[in-house]
Each structure stands twice: as C-alpha cells, then as structure tokens.
Structure 1
Amino acid sequence: MQKTVLFVDDEPNFTSAVKRALRHEPYRILTANSAMEALRLLSEEPVDVVVSDERMPGMSGSEFLALVRERHPRTLRIMLTGYATLEAAIRAINEGEIYRFLTKPCHTQDLCQILQQALAYQNALEQSSEPQGEAASTLKAAALMEELERHHPGITRLKMDETGAILLDDADLGLPEPGLWEKVRP
C-alpha cells in the first residue's frame, strides 16, 4: 500500500511547489492550506506523515500537530517553518510530539531524506506493535520459560517468603554446603 504524506501550509505557492518537487517520490502527496482543511482530510483518509508550517491563520502548526497526535496517534508529525522560535519548537515537541523540527528553506533532497527516514521509522513502529493475541503471548512466554529451564535447570522455580521476597540459600549462590563452609572459614 502506498504511503501518504500531507503538507499543511497557508501559502498555496509553497504547497504546490512541494507537490511538484516531490512528484517522483514513492509516496502520495496531499496538501492543505489550513489546519481545518488538513483535519478534514485526516478524518477522511489515512495519512502516514504530516508536515506542517507553524504560522497559519486560525490555528498554529503546533496546536494543529497536537490535535493530530491526539486524534491520529499513528501519524508521524513534522514541523517545517520559516519562523523558528524556541517557544514554537518547545510547543511542537511537547504538545505535538513531533518527529522532526525543520526550518525553511529546506532543500528538496534533505526533505526527501527526512521523509524516507520518517516512513521507515513508522514501518518499524507498526511492525513492532502488531497486535498479538493473548494466547500467542502466553505461548511465547511459556516457550521462553521452557528454554530457560532447559539451559539453566531450576532457574524458573523461586522460593519466596510470606512477603513475596525471593529466598536464596547457599546452594542457589553456588556456595559450598554449610558444614564444609564452616570448616573453610578461619
């Protein structure tokens, strides 16, 4: 399935230039010229990565990316702005949990590389978080315990006191028998 990247910027010239510059990339490019338009698009179809400007009328990019994080947590978020302030960066990082913070002008080659990294990162996240049934997890844990027991007999059997503390004796620690130990000590 082809990945989708959404660019959000209130400058139509910028979004059309980005669309032209990335037309040969192996992902679909969507554009929106306002945060509200972008939110509508996000509600209609899945988007893998959102790249947003900070300064936009109606809603800042960091506010928009915070909403994207809340409503579409699997969508990676990137800030691309010509007005990089520390305050905007902090808001985007803390509230939008962005993947990257970029400044304009950004070279097409750099943007392509960052988008490829973002999509690869998202693929890795999706593969690592694929839902496994509870039964499959239990079977996996049981197989691991069997393997541990086979290589280290007794490792999975613990002695505990009434408080739940694990009890170890000299044999568990590999120490000689208590009688022999007494004879060895000065």
Structure 2
Amino acid sequence: MWKCFGDEMLQKVLFVDDEPQVLASLQRALRREPFEIVVAGSAQEALAILERETVDVVVSDEEMPGMSGSELLAEIYRLYPDTVRMILTGKASLEGAIKAINEGQISRFFTKPANTIDLVVTIRQALQQKALMCESRRLLRAARDQSSLLEELERRQPGISAIQRDTAGRILIEEEQGDFNSLIQEIQQQVKKSERALSLRKRK
C-alpha cells in the first residue's frame, strides 16, 4: 500500500553508500532538486532510517561490507514493497545486474560514476509515478466516502440519491402539491450536512 503525504511534505530519496565522498558528491549534485535527500553509510543504517521515516526512493551501492546492495534492496522489497529501489555499483556485470533484479526487484541499475542527468531523470520519473498513484488512491477514497454518505442518506430519506441538479450544482425543485417543498428543504439540509462531512474528511 502506497504511503502518501500531503502536498506540504517533500518526497524523500535515500542514498546508501559506504564511501562518504560518494554520498557528498550526490548531495552536491542533487541539492537543487525538489525532494529531500537522506544518506546512510551502511545497509544497517539505511534500514534504521526506513523504520522511522517514509522514503519514496532508495538508491544503494552494491559493494558494501556486511550486507550488499542487492541484499539490502531485497530486504526493503520485503518490508517496504512500494519503495522504489535502484542500485549503483562500480563493478557492473551481467551476473550482478540479474542478481539485483531478481533479489531486490530493482527498477534501475546504474554504474559508477553515474551520469547525473540520467540519475535525476530516473528519480524524477519514479517520484512522479508514486505521486500519481497516491492521487489516484486519494480520489478513490473520496469517491468511496461520498458513496457511503449517499447510501446513508438514501437509507434515511429514500429517493435522495436521485435528486437532479442544474449545471451549477444546485438542486432542482419541481412544484408539487402538499408538503413537497418542505420535504425538499429537509433534503437540502441533509445534503449540505453530508457535503460538509465529506469536506472535513478530505481535510483530515
């Protein structure tokens, strides 16, 4: 399940490498990008960060002491499957690429020194894809909330879900005999209450 934040939250990218100079170089190269950069010097440190923070993309070095990049990304895939995973290595090989893809389900394989433009474009595309997925889920939840509210109103006041509206969204009232107008007014109040309730839910 995608974990999404509001618009005020920056998306987050985690770089993992046991060489401090590589991390520093990446931070300098990407300092102007509209996402937060987090760094870790080992696989263990990266997992500790992921336990307390939501990370959108992880870019890991392959050759690291203790736990390799492929092993780290495989563990991230198991624990946080919606985090986009990429690998960065100085020893490119077909065997290493296949291992990383199979074990960590990575989306991209980079060789050192990575082309900064290629790296940035790939990360941007991954973040855009995740943002679109989050928006789709938000709209789906809103539609479900509205459907639930309409079902509740229909239960309380049969026929309310069939109310006709004009192009501006106003309820159309047809003149009828008896107490029909008072009934419509009551329905209008119920609709306004449901719309306010839905608005409050969206803000939360």
Give the TM-score of the pair, scaled to structure 1.
0.68
Aligned-residue Cα RMSD (Å) equals: 2.1
1:123 equivalent in structure 2: 131
The residue type equivalent to 2:47 in the other structure is L
Q: Distance in 1 between matches of 2:72 and 2:126?
A: 19
1:33 equivalent in structure 2: 41
The residue type equivalent to 1:121 in the other structure is Q
For the pair shown, which has the larger CA radius of gyration, 1 or 2? 1
Structure-to-structure mapping, 1:57-136, within 5 angstroms = 57-129=65-137, 132=140, 136=144
2:60 equivalent in structure 1: 52
Q: Distance in 1 between matches of 2:59 and 2:91?
A: 15
> Which consecutive unaligned segments of at least 5 residues does structure 1 have?
140-186
- 1:129–1:89 distance in 2 versus 1, CA, 3 Å: farther
Is 2:47 aligned against 1:43? Answer: no
- The DSSP-based 3-state class of the residue aligned with 1:110 is helix
Q: How many residue pairs align between the two structures?
A: 138
Moved over 3 A (4+): 127-133
2:173 equivalent in structure 1: none
Q: Distance in 1 between matches of 2:131 and 2:25?
A: 27
Give the TM-score of the pair, scaled to structure 2.
0.62
> Which consecutive unaligned segments of at least 5 residues does structure 2 have?
1-8, 148-204
- The DSSP-based 3-state class of the residue aligned with 1:31 is strand
The residue type equivalent to 1:113 in the other structure is V
Q: Distance in 1 between matches of 2:29 and 2:144?
A: 46
